[in-house]
Amino acid sequence: MAKVVDQFRAVVSGLRRSARSRSMPRRAVVDAAPRALVVMGAGPGRDALQGVFRDAGWKLVVADTPSSAFASQQQEPLPIILYERELTERGWRQVVSVFSRQSPRPCVVLLSRRSDKNLWDELVRYGGFDVLRTPIDRDAVIRTVRAGWSIWRNQQNPRPLAVVSRR
């Protein structure tokens, strides 16, 4: 009898190890740190943003212009895009609209000196996610990036719909 119990325990233990090894890749994706692309001119604002990402242990790719950002997104799509509103190469509306139509859809955050409900409403109409005021506030950046990262991950790993029985 003891031999049968030991064999049963060995089989159960093997099943647990097998289930853990199959679930590891999915868990690694879920637990990965936030990754973002910032399109912003050189200066103290960009340095501050890089410092926030470095301190948090997150990945930040920097682009000086929308065209270099589009090229970067083609090579490695990043789930969060921070775009400086005051860049002069193109109007921010067009850039946000193009970024927000990419697949998988990133969370586009507008960096702006001014922020009000009208700007936020307009950003959302063009597919944006949120507005962050400049100069950069560390806590606001962390909250916004965590929220965008959480939303993006949930969009990539949707939960199965509950089965509803009909009588």
Residues 140-164, mean pLDDT to the nearest whole number: 84
Alpha-carbon torsion 142, 48, 121, 66, what sign? negative
How many whole angstroms separate alpha carbon 79 and alpha carbon 60?
Answer: 11
More confident: 36 or 87: 36
Question: In the chain, what percentage of residues exceed pLDDT 90?
Answer: 60
33-156 CATH choice from 3.40.50.2300, 1.10.150.530, 3.40.440.10, 3.90.650.10: 3.40.50.2300
Most confident of 1-15, 104-118, 152-166: 104-118
Write down the pLDDT at residue 156: 82
The pTM for the full model equals 0.75
More confident: 164 or 17: 164
Q: Residue 160 is which amino acid?
A: P
How many whole angstroms separate alpha carbon 81 and alpha carbon 91?
Answer: 16
- Residue (of 49, 26, 45) closest to 37 by Cα position: 49
Q: Phi and psi (nearest 5°) for 81?
A: -125, 125
